Structure formats: C-alpha cells, structure tokens
Amino acid sequence: MDGTNDSTQNHFILLGFSDRPHLQRGILFVVILIAYLLTLLGNTTIILVYWLDPHLHTPMYFFLTHLSFLDLSFTTSSISQLLYNLHGQDKTISYTGCAIQLFLFLGLGGVECLLLAVMAYERFVAVCKPLHYMVIMNPRLYLGLVSVAWGCVLTNSFIMSPVTLSLPQCGYHKVDHFLCEMPALIQMAYINTLAIEDTVFVLAVDIVLSPLVFILVSYSYIVKAVLQIRSASGRQKALNTCGSYLTVVSLFYGNIIYMYMQPGNNSSQDQGKFLTLFYNIVTPLLNPLIYTLRNKDWQEQRKRAERRLQRSKGLS
C-alpha cells in the first residue's frame, strides 16, 4: 500500500456535488446557508416560546418542541459539514467525524419516526377521548414515551454504526455523498453486502414502516371523530391541527421511504443526494412554518410571549 493510500486511512473523502463545481461553489452554498439559518431561527423560536410561556406546557407543545430540537440537531449534524466542504477545496472528514455523523443521522432520524407516532397518539387521545385527555396524557406517560423512543433507536444506532464502518472498504475511502450515510458507506465495501442490506431493510421496516402504520390507523380514527363534531369552529380547529401534522408526516416519510425502503439501492446516486438534502434541510425548515402558521393557539401564545418580553424590556 502506498503512502497516499496510508494517509487516507483515518479520513473519508465526501465527494458530495463535486461533479457539479459550478453548482456547489455558487448558488448551492448560498441557498443551503440561507435555509440552514432560517431553520435555526424557526426551530429555536419554537423552543424559546415554549419555555417562556407556561400556557404552552402541554403534551402537544412538549412534543412539538422536542421535534424542533430533533430538527436542529439533525440538520446541524450534517449541513454544517456540507457547508464547510462546499466553501473550500477540502472535502475530507475524519474517521471519528464520519462515525459521529453516521450515528447521529441514524439515531436522530429514527427518533423522529417514533416521535411522529407518539404525536399521532397524542392527537388521537385529544380528539377521540377529550374528557380523559389529562388523565391519559400525564407527564409520566409522555416523558416515558419519548424516553423509550430515544432508547430503542439509539440502541439500533449503536449496533448499526460500528457494523457499517467495519466493512472492508476499497479505494481511497471516497464516499459518493455529502455525508456519511449508511447506503453510501455500504456501497464502498468490496465484499458481498447482501446480508447487511437485508438487515437494514428489516430494521427500516421496524423503525420506519411500523410507526407509519400506527400513524395511519390513529388518523383514521381521528378523521372519523372529527367528522362527527357538530360545531363548525371545533371541526375546523381539529382539522387545522391534524392537517399540519399530516403535512409534516408526508414530507418526512415520503423522502425516507424512497431512500431506505428499496432493497438493492435501485435509485440513482444523484437522486439519493438531492433527496437526502431535502430531508436534511427543507423538511426541518418547513416544520416550524407548517405548525405555527396553521395553529391559532400557537400564534396567540407567541404574541403573548412577545408582549411579556416587551414589558420586561420597558421595566429594565
């Protein structure tokens, strides 16, 4: 093995969009940077408003705030490295950095799948069992549900990340992607990876499809209950909240199913890159807008929080 190859053993080269230099050095960097800053602003605002306003300390907004935290962490774990690589000539990432990125990508993405299912259950209780809502959705339950979601998915991430990185890889550790993503790393292996691809598919069914089935079943009951609401204003309020949630679910699952639920990696690599980019930056950017613009309660509480901040500034 020559010196050049030795020097790359502790690094990976993220090829990203290097086949489109005119795109990555100009408009792509600017668009991603603006979208990333707006994502930070939107999700941070939701978290701050939640903590500043006690009226929002309910299960629904607890889950929404948790979703914003996940989106912030998920986006930062990959987009910050992408911006660094787009800005300069250096396309490398250390082995440790790649391992951390892979672990966070698998873990945070999986937690979001389960969190969306938990949020569907919360909406089911709110719409279908409103008189028992506070009894069922007590702090012990919703904190426990979030803890179980984190525990299950991080366990999977702890197992799959080392397995993926331990695969014997050929060449100069060139990853045909802009981040250390499992399918791209598996493609680098020079051994038969059919067994691990089948394992990834089975785990994807457990972590991705099972929560989705639960969400669809929950919302079938919710839609049935909403249609039975006699009050037009009450029906509209329920539809607004549920419509926001289903929009987020559609954006999230539409991309992740296309990327991970195809045995044998049938989709083109370029398609995979842009879908992953959408999944990493566009969905976390739109989530705060979808929830807050269609939620009148949230808008009222946000205005209340702003007035309190203004009053406190006036007193100081």
Per-residue pLDDT at 56 exceeds 60? yes
Helix (H) or strand (E) segment spanning residue 302: helix 296-315
Per-residue pLDDT at 1 exceeds 50? no
Q: 238 near 186, Cβ under 8 Å? A: no
- Select the highest-mean-pLDDT range: 148-157, 159-168, 203-212, 264-273: 148-157
Residues 6 or more apart in contact with residue 144 via CB below 8 angstroms:
none
Spatial distance between the Cα atoms of 25 and 230, rounded to a whole number of angstroms:
56
CA dihedral 292, 213, 179, 273 (to 10 degrees): -90
Give the pLDDT confidence of 97-126 residue by residue, as tens digits: 889 999 998 889 889 889 999 999 998 998
Mean pLDDT of 303-310: 61
Helix axis angle, 296-315 to 27-52, nearest 10°: 80
User: What pLDDT score does 118 carry?
Assistant: 93
Query: Helix and strand tally (H, E) in the chain?
Result: 14, 3
Q: Which CATH fold topology does 3-307 show?
A: Rhopdopsin 7-helix transmembrane proteins (1.20.1070)
Mean pLDDT of 283-312: 67
